Chains A and B, each alone.
Chain A
C-alpha cells in the first residue's frame, strides 16, 4: 500500500532501541492526504464500474420500452347496473369518451344514460307505428336505418354534440354523477385534466318512412357514401318473401330552404334458391357488392357494380350446411368480412382477385383466418371503429374481445345478466371498453386497457395475412396516406435488409482489406507502410454521412450510367493484375529484384488504373455485345437470355477449374520442367500457360452458360433483377469502403503481432516470403484476422447514414443486387423522429434497436472471445 509513512513509534523504539534517539519525529501522514486517497479510491472504483452500469442500463432501458408490446392488457372495471326501461334494444351508441350511451328500442323509445353510473339523462318517444324488424348502421354508429314490418325503412341519426367549455361557461345547478361528471339539461359535463370541461349532449332525429317492399323487412345493411354536399345512402334489404334488394337514396339539399329531397332507386337482386332462410345481409359503402348469409352456412356474393343489373357473382360455403351463419359484419375499412357461426366459429374472409377461380367478376372470397372458437353460437359482432378489433357475443353470455389481424383473443368476459335475454353490444370508439345492454335493462360495461393489441410475436417476427394481400407476408409499412390504413410491423424485412447490406458490403470489403493487410504486413516497403497505415486509421473516423452523400448523389448516378463498365471492371481489373504478374515473371531476375519494392507496387496501381480505364472505354461496346445494348432492359428480363451473365460469372470459376485441373494432372511435371530453364524463359512459358488457360476457361464458361440456358435456367429474378438507382451494389460498395479501414487495421495488427522469430525461422529454412506468409504467418494470425472480420461485420450491421441515403429504403425481401433495401438502423433513423412517444411504432422501433443491439453484442462478444484465444496462442509461441 501507498501509506507506508505511517510509522509505529513504539515499534521503531522497540527495534532500534540503541539507535539515534535524538531525531525522533512524529512521522504521520496528514489527514487530508489519507482522506484524498480514500476518496480517490472510492470515486475511481465506482467510476470504473459505471461502464458496466452504462451497458446494462442501455440494454434494460431498451427492453423496458419494448416490453409493453407484449403487455396482455388489463381489465380496469366491470360495471353492472340496471336501467329503468324494459324494451328490446334495437340500437346502441356511445360517445368517443365513454360518457353517454343512447339506447334505441324497437318501438321508437329512445333514452340516454350515463355509462359509468347508469343514471338516466334524457329520453324521447319517436313516432313509430310498428316495431322495427331489422336495423343497420354505419361503422361510427351515428347513422342508422330501421326496417319495419310494413315493408318500410327509415333513416335516423343518433349521435352526440361534443363541446369543450371553460369553467365560466358551465351552467349552474348541475347534478353530480360521480367524481368527474355532472349533469344538467340533458348534457353530461366531464372535467378534463387541463381544468376545462367537456360537454356531451345526446341528440337524435328520425326521417320519414320510405316504402321498399310489401313484406316485412327481415335483414338489412346500411352504408353512407358520397360527399358532404351530396351524401348517398345505400342499403340492402331482404324481406320476408326472400327478395333481396339494393337501394340507393340520393339526398339533395336545397341551398335556399335547407329542405332535403330524397330520391330513392331500388334494384332487385337475382332470387335465391327456394326455401333459403336469410340470416344476415352485408353491403359495401360503395354499394357495389352485397353479401347474403343463410342458415345453412352459405354466402351469396352479388356484384352490384352495374346497379340496374346485379349479378350473383359467387356462392361459397362459410360453414358446413348444418351450421347457420348467425352474424356477419365487415371489419373496419370493409376489406375483410367476419362471419360468426352457430357452432361458435368466427372466421374472416377476404375478397381477393383470383381470375382462375371462375367467378363472374374475377374475385373470390377466401377464408383468411379462423379465430378461436367461442364454444357457443355467435349472436352478435361489434366492430371497432378504428383498428381491426371486434367483440363477439356468444349465446352463453360470453363476450370475447379479439384482434383480427393478429388472430388474438384479447379478453374473455362473461355477461352478468341472464344470457338468454336478447342484448345489443358495442365496442367503445377508443377501443377501451365494451357495453352490453339487454331488453330487461341490464347493463354490463367493461372497461379495459390494451395499448398494443396489434402486436404479437407472430406479427413482429412472423408472417401475417394483411387485408388486400394475396397471402400471408412479412411486411413493414408503418404509415400511409389513408385513414383506414393498417400499420404492419414485421421486423423480418428489416433484419433481412440488414443482413443483405452487410453481406454485400463484406463481399467487397473483406477481400480487399484482408489481402491488403497481408501485403502491408509481409511485403510492403517499410516507408510505404509508414504512411499507408495512418491514412487507413484516419479513414476509420471518416464521417459516414459523407460517404452516404457520395454514394447517393455521386456514385449511384455514375454506376447507373456506367453499369456495364462497372460489371466489366470486376473482370478486367483482376485480369489486369494477373497480366501484370505474368509479365513481371518475364523480367530478368536482377531487374525484378531491384524493382521489387516501391516500383512494383506502383506498377500494380498503374495496372488497376489502366484496366479500370479499359473497362470504362469498353463498357458501351461490352454492353452492346453481351446485353443487347441496354443493360437495364436486359436485367429486367425484357430482352435476351441469361447466357451472357452466366458466362461472366462462370468465367472466373472456369478459370479456377482449369487451373486446378491442370495443377492436379500436370502440376508437378510443369514445375519440374520450369526449374530446368532460365527464369525469364520460365516466365514466358508460364505466361503462355496462363493465356491458354484464359482461352480454355472462356470456352468452358461459354459452353456451360449455353447448356444452362438451354436447360431453361435464367439468373434474372434471383440475385440480379430489375435495376433501381439506389441499390445494394452501391450500398455494398460504399459500406464496404467504410468498413475496409476497420478490418484492415485490425487484421494488420494481428498479422504484425505474430512473433518475428517464426518469420525468421521460416525464411531461414528456405521458404519464400510468399510461402512464409501463407503457411506460417496466416495460420498463426488466423483467429485475430477472423475477429477483425467480425468487428467489421459489427460495424456494417449498425451503419446508418450510408444506408439511409443510398439504399432507397424499400423494405423488400429479395437478394437482388440491383434493388434497394432498408436496414434496422436506417428504419430507426427515418421513423423514430416522427413516432409518437409510447405508441406502438415507438415501441416497435425500440425493439428494432434492441434487436440491433443484440446482433452486434453477439458479433462483438464472439470477436472478443476469438481475439483473446488468439492472444493467448500468440504469446505461447
Chain B
C-alpha cells in the first residue's frame, strides 16, 4: 500500500540514508488524491452537519418553547412603552423610507453599524386590546429595558395570553385587597375557578353530547323505518310515536343539564380579576377563563420547572384552543396512533402473505418478477397519488356504495362516502405495504433452509412448517418491517389531506358510544397539525412554538419507532449469527 511505502521512506530518511533512489517507487501526491478525498469527505461531513443541525434546531426550539420567559418592559425613545416576552432577534437593513423618519442619534447608530440595525421581536400579547400579538422593536428605538416583578403572564381560554399587572381581585362578587394575593393565592383561586370551567366542559361534552348523540340516533332510526316501509305505513306511525316520546324525555334531560350549566356560569361570573396592560388600559377577566398565570420575572427555578412541566402536561393531555395555536394536541396524538394501528392491522397480513408467496410458494419465473416490479413501483409511486386514489376509489366509489347499502337513512349526508379514518388507513396501508413485503421477505430468507428441511422431514406439511417453524423464526424481522411501516405511515401527510384528516375533529374515532370504534369519522393528525398551525392560522408567528413542539413530538415518535426497528434488526442479526447450523 502506498502509505506504508511512504512511512517506510520517512524512517529511512530519519536514519540518514541517502535521499534519492528509493523514493522513485513512492506514490506521488496526485495518486493519494488528497483534495479529492476532502471533496468526498466534505460532502459527507456537510450531510452530517445538516442532519445534526436540523435535529438540534428542532430539539432546541421544541424543548425550550414551554420554558417561562421573562417579561421585559421597554421604554422607547418616543416615550411609548412595550411589554412582552422577547422572542427572537434579527438584523435588518434600514430602508431609505425608514431612514427619513429616524432621529439623528438613531441614524448615527444605524450608520455606525453599516446601515444595519438589530431588532427584537416581542410577544406583546393582549390581542383583544392591541389587535396584534407581536411587535418588532429596533435597537435604536430603545431607551430603557427593565423587568418589573409585578408583571404577570396570563394564558387565557380565549384571546391568547395577557401581559400586564393584576390590579384588582373580585371573589364571590366582593372586591378584595390585591395586596393580599401573592402568586400562591392567585394560583389557588384560579385553580378553584378553573375546576368550575372543567365541570361545565364535562357537562357539555359528556352529558349533553350523549343526549345529542342519542337523539340523533332516534331520528335516524325513524328515518330508516320511513325508508323501508314508507311514510304512510303503520310501522312508521308506531315508530314515530315511540321516537317522539323518547326525544321529549331527552329534551327534559337536556334542559336540566342546560340549567346546571347556567347555574355554574352565574357563580363563575362573580370571580374576576382586573388586569392592566403596560399602557394603563384595564380589562376585567373571568378567573375561570384563565388557563395559567405566573409572575414571569419573579419565579424561582423550581417554579419555572413547575410551569414548564404543567405546560407539557397540558400539551400532551388536552384539546387545542385558539385555532390550534395553543392548548394541547391530544386529539391529534390519538388520531395519529389510531390511524397507524388500523393501518398495521390491514398491512400486516397483506405484506406477510405477499412475502410468503414470493419466498415460499411462487415458482421463480415471470409472475414473480412481475410481482417484484409491482412492489418496487408501489414503493416508488408518490404518496399524493395514493391519496388521489384513496379519495376517488375508497371514499367516492366504495364509500358511496356502502352508504347506499347500509346508511341510506343518513343520506344525503355522507357517512363512509367521504374521507375518514378507515379510508385513510387503507390508503396508507397501500403506501406502506412494500416496506413490510421487503422486510418480511428478508426475514423469511434469513430462516435457514435446514430448519425447513428438518421440519418437512419430520412429516410436517408445508403450511405447518411455515406456521410453526418459519414464521416464528422470521417474526422479529417481520415486526421490524411493521414498525418501519408505522414510522413511514405516521409521518405521511400529503395523502391524508385528501382522505379524511381535518383541522379540528369534533369527535374522536373511538368513544363510549356503541359501536365504540367509528371508522367513518374524520380525525386529527400530528403531521397535518404542523401544516395547519404553521400555514393556515391567523398568525404563523403565534403558532410557531406550537409547531416546534408538535414537530418534536412527531419526530420523537418516528425516531423511537425507527430505533426500535433497528434494534430488533440488530439483535436478530446477532441471534442468527450464533444460531446458524
Closest to A791 in B: B380
Q: Are A578 and B357 in contact (CB under 8 A)?
A: no
**Bound form: Cα–Cα A524–B48 in Å:** 13
Q: Are B45 and A770 in contact (CB under 8 A)?
A: no
Q: Does B29 contact A (CB under 8 A)?
A: yes
Q: Which residues of the other chain, A, contact B49 by a CB distance below 8 angstroms?
A: 605, 608-609
Q: Does B36 contact A (CB under 8 A)?
A: yes
Q: Which residues of the other chain, A, contact B350 by a CB distance below 8 angstroms?
A: 47, 50
Closest Cβ of chain A: how far from B468's Cβ, in Å?
Answer: 12
Find residues 39-57 in chain B having any chain A CB closer than 8 Å to their own CB: 39-51, 54, 57
Q: Are A2 and B465 in contact (CB under 8 A)?
A: yes
Q: Which residues of the other chain, B, contact A601 by a CB distance below 8 angstroms?
A: 41, 44-45
Q: Does A577 contact B (CB under 8 A)?
A: yes
Q: Does A444 contact B (CB under 8 A)?
A: no
Closest Cβ of chain A: how far from B522's Cβ, in Å?
Answer: 12
Q: Are B27 and A516 in contact (CB under 8 A)?
A: no
Counting chain B CB atoms within 10 Å of each CB, the highest count among A541, A600, A630, A686 belongs to A541
Closest Cβ of chain A: how far from B238's Cβ, in Å?
Answer: 23
Instruction: Report how many residues on chain A are interfacial, defined by Cβ distance under 8 Å.
Output: 132
Q: Which residues of the other chain, A, contact B19 by a CB distance below 8 angstroms?
A: 678
Q: Which residues of the other chain, B, contact A537 by a CB distance below 8 angstroms?
A: 562, 566
Q: Are B389 and A519 in contact (CB under 8 A)?
A: no
Q: Does A503 contact B (CB under 8 A)?
A: no
Contact with A along B356-369 (1 / 0, CB 8 A): 11101110000100
Q: Does A784 contact B (CB under 8 A)?
A: no
Q: Which residues of the other chain, A, contact B30 by a CB distance below 8 angstroms?
A: 671
Closest Cβ of chain A: how far from B439's Cβ, in Å?
Answer: 13
Contact with B along A554-583 (1 / 0, CB 8 A): 100000010000000000011001101110
Q: Are A545 and B354 in contact (CB under 8 A)?
A: no
Report which of B34, B58, B393 forms a contact with A584, defined as CB distance below 8 A. Answer: B34
Q: Are B461 and A37 in contact (CB under 8 A)?
A: yes
Q: Which residues of the other chain, A, contact B464 by a CB distance below 8 angstroms?
A: 2, 33, 36-37
Given A605-B49, A630-B93, A833-B498, CB of A541 within 8 Å of CB of B487: yes
Given A585-B29, A678-B13, CB of A550 within 8 Å of CB of B39: no
Q: Are A584 and B38 in contact (CB under 8 A)?
A: yes
Q: Are A58 and B385 in contact (CB under 8 A)?
A: yes
Closest Cβ of chain B: how far from A47's Cβ, in Å?
Answer: 3
Prevailing SS type, chain B contact patch: helix
Closest to B389 in A: A58
Q: Does B559 contact A (CB under 8 A)?
A: yes
Closest Cβ of chain A: how far from B351's Cβ, in Å?
Answer: 9
Given A47-B357, A534-B566, A766-B2, CB of A523 within 8 Å of CB of B466: no
Q: Does B433 contact A (CB under 8 A)?
A: yes
Q: Are B35 and A864 in contact (CB under 8 A)?
A: no
Q: Which residues of the other chain, B, contact A864 by a CB distance below 8 angstroms?
A: 373, 376
Given A52-B370, A549-B530, CB of A561 within 8 Å of CB of B91: yes
Q: Are B497 and A36 in contact (CB under 8 A)?
A: no
Q: Are B354 and A61 in contact (CB under 8 A)?
A: no
Q: Does B531 contact A (CB under 8 A)?
A: yes
Q: Does B443 contact A (CB under 8 A)?
A: no
Closest to A682 in B: B29
Given A37-B463, A798-B384, CB of A543 within 8 Å of CB of B554: yes
Given A541-B488, A561-B91, CB of A523 within 8 Å of CB of B41: yes
Find residues 751-772 in chain A having any chain B CB closer than 8 Å to their own CB: 763, 766-771
Q: Are A845 and B461 in contact (CB under 8 A)?
A: no
Closest Cβ of chain B: how far from A743's Cβ, in Å?
Answer: 10
Q: Does B187 contact A (CB under 8 A)?
A: no
Q: Are A57 and B10 in contact (CB under 8 A)?
A: no
Closest to B14 in A: A590
**Bound form: Cα–Cα A846–B387 in Å:** 11
Find residues 39-59 in chain A having any chain B CB closer than 8 Å to their own CB: 39-41, 43-45, 47-52, 54-55, 57-58
Q: Does A408 contact B (CB under 8 A)?
A: no
Q: Are B563 and A538 in contact (CB under 8 A)?
A: yes
Q: Does A241 contact B (CB under 8 A)?
A: no
Closest to A518 in B: B40
Q: Are A541 and B484 in contact (CB under 8 A)?
A: yes
Q: Are A845 and B388 in contact (CB under 8 A)?
A: yes
Q: Are B48 and A532 in contact (CB under 8 A)?
A: yes
Counting chain A CB atoms within 10 Å of each CB, the highest count among B41, B383, B530, B551 belongs to B41
Given A832-B498, A856-B380, CB of A768 within 8 Å of CB of B29: no
**Bound form: Cα–Cα A451–B104 in Å:** 69
Can you list 17 A-B pairs with a CB-CB distance of less than 8 A? A4-B456, A515-B42, A519-B37, A543-B527, A544-B493, A546-B491, A546-B555, A549-B547, A553-B540, A582-B35, A589-B9, A675-B28, A766-B1, A768-B2, A829-B384, A856-B385, A860-B379
List the 5 shortest-distance A-B pairs measured between CB atoms, nearest first. A798-B382, A48-B357, A543-B491, A47-B353, A770-B33
B interface residue numbers (CB < 8 A to A): 1-3, 6-7, 9-10, 13, 19-20, 23-24, 26-51, 54, 57-58, 90-93, 114-116, 349-350, 353-354, 356-358, 360-362, 367, 370-371, 373-389, 391-393, 396-397, 430, 433, 437, 456, 459-467, 484, 487-488, 490-494, 497-498, 527-528, 530-531, 534-535, 540, 544, 547, 551, 554-555, 558-559, 562-563, 566
